[in-house]
Every structure is written in C-alpha cells, then in structure tokens.
C-alpha cells in the first residue's frame, strides 16, 4: 500500500513569518522580529527560519554588504513559491474551518 | 582586533554542526554585529543551546520507536524507584529502635515519603542511563525525559514541603512521642515563618537559625535533584558508546551525591560555608560532571567530523 504524502502544516510562528515575507518580499531576522510586533522572539526566530528553510518554505541569501562595513554578511529571507502556496492553503483552510478565528 | 561575536562563533563551531552554523548561528551573529545589544547576545546564546541539543539528538524517524524507548525508560525508572525505596525503608527500619514499641506495619507507609526524596532522583538517573545509554537518542525522547524530570522535581517539592513533614510527624506519633516536633516536621510555610522569627537580633547568638536555613536550602536543592540528575544522566548517555560506561558513571555520581548530602563536614556549622552553598554543593558537583561529559561528547563529535572531512 503506497505511503500517504505528509500533510504540510504551518505553526503560528511560521504563518506569521510567511505573511511578513509575502508582504515585504525580503527581510533579515531582526527585521522580522521588529515587524512582528513582539510576536516573534529574537532567540527563536533564527531556529524557526532555519527549520522553514529546511522544509522549503523560504529561501535565503547573503546580503551584498559593502567591503568597508566589516563583519559577517546578514542573511536575507524570502518566501518560496511552495511557502506562498502553503500559506494561501493554510489561510483558506483556517477561514473555512474556523471563520470566527480567521484573521 | 576581533569583531563582536567572533569568539562566540568560534565557540559555537566546536559544538554545533555545519548546517546549524550556516542556517541558524551565523545569521544570529551577523545581526548581533550590525545591531549589538544585550538582548541579541542572549538570543545568540539561546540559539547556541538549541543547536547543541539538536546536535546531540537524532530526528524522530519513527513515532512508535520513540514511544517504545520512552516506555522502556519509564519502566526502568519506576522499577528502580520501587526497589530503591524498599531498600531505603528497610534500612530506615533497622536504624529506628523497636524495643518497647509495637508500631505495626503502618510505620512503613510513613517511611515512604522521606525515602522517595532520594530514590526518585537516583531511580530517574539510573533508569535513563540503563534505557538510553549508548543509543542514539531522539529529540522527542530527550524532551519527554526532560519533562518527566521537571514533573518529578515538582512532585519532590510537594513531597519535601508537605508530605514528608506530615509523614515524619505521624511516624513520631506512632512511637508515642508527644510535644514539639523537629525541623523535619515543619512544612514550607512553617519553616519560612520560623526562619523569619529567629532572624531577629535577639537570637543572633543561637545556632538554631543556621539549622533552619540549612534545612530550607537542602529541601530546595533536593527538590531540584531529579532535574539535575536527569541532565547528568542524559549527558553521560550521549557521551558514551555503550550502556555500561554511563551506568558506572551514574552509580559513581549517585554515590558521591549520597556522601555529600550526609557528610557532616559539609554542614555550614562545620565547614564555614553558607547554608545555601552547603546545601547546593552536591547539585553543583553533579552539574560539573554533566559539563565534563558534554565536553567529552563535543570533542568526540568534532574528531569524527574532522575524520569524515579528511
């Protein structure tokens, strides 16, 4: 008997991150924290972003920092087409199943 | 001159795998270098701890396997707690004088809560190393075992604060003793009240306050025993390649802890240590042993990575 495909799910934090990335196109970690109005915490946002990148919901690139700036280049995150589809499907499912709680 | 976060990154690189470094640690440090703040330093440390735990454990490939492993851990822990409690109660029964007294078998009921204070700690530690030692531990199992230790510590806190004092009182009454009980029969609230009362300057020449505060801190330290020993057991289970080495280390750790909590030389009135230090020194020793075990596993993993790379 063929294995059923795993249902892609989104946690509350992942949903928020995808919504912010869809709205702003490209953001780095601390920008996500500040735009989330304290819903995302500094300690956990990087772990969540790493997990989402492994799942394929987002992609990242190192910024083109000027040479004189020094330090490590920051990582900019973007929602992938898969991430956008999962967010759209998840939002639609939430609206359909629990209209009282849909944003 | 090193930049902000570079030393942290070098330290994290010893402990975390390459993927965690690239995806999680480096972005946090890059943000720290651009927007330095204490909050961001704390965030980097949290990230580092997460990566460390991730590096020690394996993904949960099979929920049934995780449940089976956890079930085995619980079975071993429960069995060891029962056996150790029976041994402690038997030992306690030999110490208590019996001539002229006929307390009956109900005395064993009152001897169980004080025994559980230490047997829950040792039983959990030994159960974890027997069930998990030398195996690859999944994140789900490690998290579940950790939650179990938190629940055990909470139960220990309740036991030490209310159940054991009541049991001690009832045990003493069983032997016909009347009048005021000792410190070990005071609940948390009563103990705190007595400490406050005897903290007054009119009692400064008496040593009773020392005994009260030492008892207070000892109870707190022992309530944290299950949590401390679970961290110890998990760290030696991760570090060892077979089951027997962590078991030997666990027995050594339990023995050292037993000696430390019973050593008269460590009492604050003998050692000159504060009540807090004297009470927590045993836990501190066990946590140091855990840190050593984690260091060993980190070095092993680094050597393995270097070997694989070459």
Give average pLDDT by consecutive 10-residue segment, chain B, 310 residues: 73 76 88 87 84 65 68 89 91 70 77 91 91 78 87 94 91 78 88 87 73 91 93 86 83 89 79 86 90 80 69
Residues of B in contact with A73 (CB under 8 A): 30
For tokens 């629940």, the residue is B151
Coil, strand or helix at B116: helix
pLDDT of residue B218: 92
Residues of B in contact with A70 (CB under 8 A): 3, 33
Yes or no, beta carbons of A43 and B35 under 8 Å apart: no
User: Nearest residue of A to residue B44 by CA position?
Assistant: A43
pLDDT digits (tens, 9 = 90+) for B71-81: 888 898 999 99
* Sheet of A58-62, strands arranged across: A27-28, A75-79, A58-62
Yes or no, beta carbons of A46 and B43 under 8 Å apart: yes
Q: Is B7 on the interface with A (CB under 8 A)?
A: no
Q: Is B29 on the interface with A (CB under 8 A)?
A: yes
Instruction: Flag whether pLDDT at A1 surpasses 60.
Output: no
Please, which residues 154-213 of chain B have a Cβ atom closer than 8 Å to chain A?
A: none
If we measure between CA atoms, which residue out of B235, B217, B236 comes closest to residue B282?
B217
Yes or no, beta carbons of A70 and B24 under 8 Å apart: no
| pLDDT above 90: percentage of residues in chain A | 43
Q: Helices B106-132 and B208-223 sit at what angle, rounded to 10 degrees?
A: 50
Yes or no, beta carbons of B23 and A44 under 8 Å apart: no
pLDDT of residue B123: 93
- Angstrom distance (rounded) from CA B201 to CA B221: 27
pLDDT digits (tens, 9 = 90+) for B175-212: 777 777 788 888 999 999 988 888 877 776 567 888 88
Written as six digits, the tokens of B270 are 């003998």
- Angstrom distance (rounded) from CA B48 to CA B24: 9
Yes or no, beta carbons of A72 and B33 under 8 Å apart: yes
Yes or no, beta carbons of B27 and A73 under 8 Å apart: no
pLDDT of residue A24: 92
pLDDT of residue B310: 63
Yes or no, beta carbons of A75 and B20 under 8 Å apart: no
Q: Is B288 on the interface with A (CB under 8 A)?
A: no
């Amino acid at each position: 008997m063929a294995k059923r495909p795993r249902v892609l799910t989104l946690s509350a934090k992942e949903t928020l991150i995808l919504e912010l990335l869809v709205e702003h196109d490209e953001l780095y970690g601390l920008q996500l924290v500040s735009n989330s109005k304290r819903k995302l915490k500094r300690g956990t946002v990087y772990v969540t972003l790493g997990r989402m990148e492994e799942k394929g919901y987002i992609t990242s690139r190192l910024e083109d920092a000027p040479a004189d700036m020094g330090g490590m280049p920051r990582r900019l995150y973007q929602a992938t087409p898969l991430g956008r589809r999962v967010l759209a499907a998840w939002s639609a499912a939430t609206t359909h199943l629990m209209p009282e709680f849909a944003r | 001159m090193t930049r902000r976060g570079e030393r942290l990154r070098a330290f994290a690189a010893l402990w975390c795998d390459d993927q965690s470094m690239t995806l999680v640690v480096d972005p946090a440090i890059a943000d720290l270098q651009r927007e330095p703040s204490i909050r961001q330093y704390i965030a980097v440390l949290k990230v580092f701890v997460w990566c460390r735990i991730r590096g020690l454990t394996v993904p949960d490939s099979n929920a049934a396997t995780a449940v089976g492993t956890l079930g085995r851990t619980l079975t071993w822990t429960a069995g060891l707690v029962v056996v150790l409690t029976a041994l402690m109660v038997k030992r306690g029964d030999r110490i208590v004088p019996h001539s002229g007294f006929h307390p009956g078998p109900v005395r064993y009921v009152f001897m169980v809560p004080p025994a559980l204070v230490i047997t829950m700690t040792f039983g959990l530690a030994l159960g974890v190393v027997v069930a998990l030692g030398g195996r690859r531990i999944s994140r789900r199992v490690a998290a579940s075992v950790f939650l179990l230790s938190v629940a055990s510590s909470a139960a220990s806190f309740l036991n030490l604060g209310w159940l054991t004092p009541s049991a001690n009182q009832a045990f003493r009454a069983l032997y016909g003793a009347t009048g005021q009980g000792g410190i070990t029969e005071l609940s948390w609230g009563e103990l705190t009240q007595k400490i406050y009362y005897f903290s007054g300057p009119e009692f400064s020449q008496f040593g009773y306050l020392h005994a009260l505060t030492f008892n207070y801190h000892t109870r707190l330290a022992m309530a944290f025993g299950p949590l401390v020993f679970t961290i110890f057991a998990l760290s030696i289970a991760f570090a060892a390649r077979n089951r027997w080495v962590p078991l030997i280390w666990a027995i050594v750790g339990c023995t050292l802890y037993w000696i430390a909590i019973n050593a008269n030389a460590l009492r604050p009135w003998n050692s000159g240590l504060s009540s807090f230090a004297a009470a927590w020194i045993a836990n501190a020793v066990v946590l140091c042993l855990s840190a050593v075990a984690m260091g060993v596993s980190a070095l092993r993993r680094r050597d393995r990575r270097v070997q694989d790379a070459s």
